[in-house]
Amino acid sequence: DGGITQSPKYLFRKEGQNVTLSCEQNLNHDAMYWYRQDPGQGLRLIYYSQIVNDFQKGDIAEGYSVSREKKESFPLTVTSAQKNPTAFYLCASSTGLQGTQHFGDGTRLSIL
Amino acid sequence: AQSVTQPDIHITVSEGASLELRCNYSYGATPYLFWYVQSPGQGLQLLLKYFSGDTLVQGIKGFEAEFKRSQSSFNLRKPSVHWSDAAEYFCAVGSPNTNAGKSTFGDGTTLTVKP
């Protein structure tokens, strides 16, 4: 079955460390997204990408970076510049920016 | 720019009771509309969507939603709630205009089901 795979499910970051969250999809979708979810705050868009080798900042891009070298993959790096990284991170994909989004099961990032 | 408002942050209903979750949107024409559900620690799952046609849309798990253009609303309903429906629900709006950019999500409504 097609879907989106996020890994790892749980991740711990030390102070000053960069960490990378993986997102892979086999749905042949062009668009991919990264969201951050904090308790009581809904989804906040970090970055999104419409096509390979192109991506745009969302509402809260500071302290994060992404790449889109392959259609299937959209990894998110949480850099040391992100001072409050503890959150639940969700990756999604869709055929176009207006279509139904398909979500992964998320990665929960915590600080050691 | 498009926007979505879910006026109710938290709703509690008794098992077997009916449910209505509100969603209001702002968009200049007929939008694409979605409802998603999220169980704790999981990703979001699509419940139903409206693109065009019949304004009453049926979805999975016995949910339905009605698009009301005059009220700019897309409220989600279920006649009889089950304990397993306890979750967070998100409304989203997108544009049929392919140059309009990404869809926008509401802040969500948390549903608690009392036994």
Q: How many CB pairs under 8 A join A and B?
A: 62
B53 in contact with chain A, both atoms CB, cutoff 8 A: no
B59 in contact with chain A, both atoms CB, cutoff 8 A: no
Q: What is the DSSP string of A24-72?
A: EE-S--SEEEEEEE-TTS-EEEEEEESSTT--EE-TT-TTEEE--SBTT
Strands B87-94 and B109-114: antiparallel
Residues in chain B within 8 Å Cβ distance of A48: 102
From the CA of A43, how many Å to the nearest CA of chain B? 7
Contact A1, A100 (CB under 8 A): no
Q: What is the mean pLDDT of residues A86-90?
A: 96
Strands A107-111 and A10-13: parallel
Beta-bridge mates of residue A45: A35
CA triple B87-A40-A57, angle to 5 deg: 105
Per-residue confidence (pLDDT) for residue B70, from 0 to 100: 93
Residues in chain A within 8 Å Cβ distance of B96: 98
Model confidence at A29, pLDDT cuts 50, 70, 90, reads: very high
Q: What is the mean pLDDT of each run of 10 residues along chain B (115 residues)?
A: 92 98 90 94 94 93 96 97 97 79 89 96
Q: What is the mean pLDDT of residues A70-91?
A: 95
Q: What is the mean pLDDT of residues A41-63?
A: 93
CA triple B104-B77-B106, angle to 5 deg: 15
From the CA of B94, how many Å to the nearest CA of chain A? 5
Per-residue confidence (pLDDT) for residue A39, from 0 to 100: 81
Contact A103 B49 (CB under 8 A): no
Strands B73-78 and B64-68: antiparallel
Per-residue confidence (pLDDT) for residue B100, from 0 to 100: 62
From the CA of A103, how many Å to the nearest CA of chain B? 5
Contact A98 B103 (CB under 8 A): yes
Q: Which of B37, B102, B105 to mutate to test binding with chain A, by most A CBs within 10 Å of its CB? A: B102
Per-residue confidence (pLDDT) for residue A53, from 0 to 100: 95
| Alpha carbon of residue B104 to chain centroid | 12
Per-residue confidence (pLDDT) for residue B99, from 0 to 100: 63
Q: What is the mean pLDDT of residues A62-87?
A: 95
